């Protein structure tokens, strides 16, 4: 009898610990939350971002896909070590590209939001910015998601070589933290706009959180177009 009771108690303790870990990581929410922030369930529809979000200012000078005069602007705040950012990249971005970016309806902007508990996220973001100095931001963006950021700076320098970058300039850029302040500015701007985890999106002033399915982005884009 006592053995049964002890087994039940142990199972309850293990279950509690697993649920606590999932809450901290944002598992199942479609978004990895800031460590100090409560985990958010990704909404099924967009909600307003922080008041008075200036979309033109939010674009800043970051990398853009699509027609700069497109009627809808999507700004993604992402982290190259975030599993849900990778899910968005691998499962959803291509359809947005084909149906909305390539057709001139959407311009897509990527801004950095490296979470502190992802050890390589900050330097991965800087690596993409350094590649952008040589007009290959999106190539490095894709490489980081395709290959992963776990290898750190050594891998990022290898990626630069694979992409045909001037590796001397790239390595100097990365080693000297040239874009560290820019990456942190992205985080401040994202936080001010209501971003609390990754991936987070602002679509014409509306906040969409998490690696939502394409249908959620489609609904938000069509709403903005109409």
Domain borders along the chain are 30-225
DSSP letter at 54 equals -
Dihedral over alpha carbons 66, 71, 75, 80 (to 10 degrees): -30
For 67-89, what is each residue's pLDDT tens digit? 999 999 999 999 999 999 999 99
For 36-56, what is each residue's pLDDT tens digit? 333 333 444 566 776 678 898
Prediction pTM value: 0.81
Classify residue 142 as exposed, middle or buried by CB count within 10 Å of its CB (0-12, 13-18, 19+).
Answer: middle
Domain 30-225: CATH superfamily, name plus number: Glutaredoxin (3.40.30.10)
Residue 69, SS3 per DSSP: coil
For 174-214, what is each residue's pLDDT tens digit? 999 999 999 999 999 999 999 999 999 999 999 999 999 99
């Amino acid at each position: 009898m006592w053995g049964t009771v002890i087994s039940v108690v142990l199972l309850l303790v293990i279950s509690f610990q697993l649920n606590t870990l999932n809450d901290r990581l944002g598992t199942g929410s479609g978004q990895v939350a800031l460590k100090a922030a409560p985990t958010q369930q990704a909404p099924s529809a967009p909600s307003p971002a922080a008041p008075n979000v200036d979309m033109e200012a939010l674009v800043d000078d970051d990398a853009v896909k699509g027609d700069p005069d497109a009627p809808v602007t999507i700004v993604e705040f992402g982290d190259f070590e975030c599993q849900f950012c990778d899910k968005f990249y691998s499962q959803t971005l291509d359809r947005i590209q084909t149906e909305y970016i390539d057709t001139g309806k959407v311009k897509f902007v990527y801004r950095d939001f490296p979470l502190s508990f992802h050890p390589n996220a900050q330097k991965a973001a800087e690596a993409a910015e350094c590649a952008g100095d040589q007009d290959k931001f999106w190539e490095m963006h894709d490489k980081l998601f395709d290959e992963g950021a776990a290898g750190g700076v050594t891998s990022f320098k290898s990626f630069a070589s694979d992409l045909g970058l001037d590796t001397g300039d790239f390595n100097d850029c990365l080693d000297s933290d040239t874009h560290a302040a820019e990456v942190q500015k992205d985080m401040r701007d994202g936080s001010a706009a209501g971003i609390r985890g990754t991936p987070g999106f602002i679509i014409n002033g509306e906040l969409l959180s998490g690696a939502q399915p394409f249908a959620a982005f489609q609904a938000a884009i069509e709403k903005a177009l109409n």
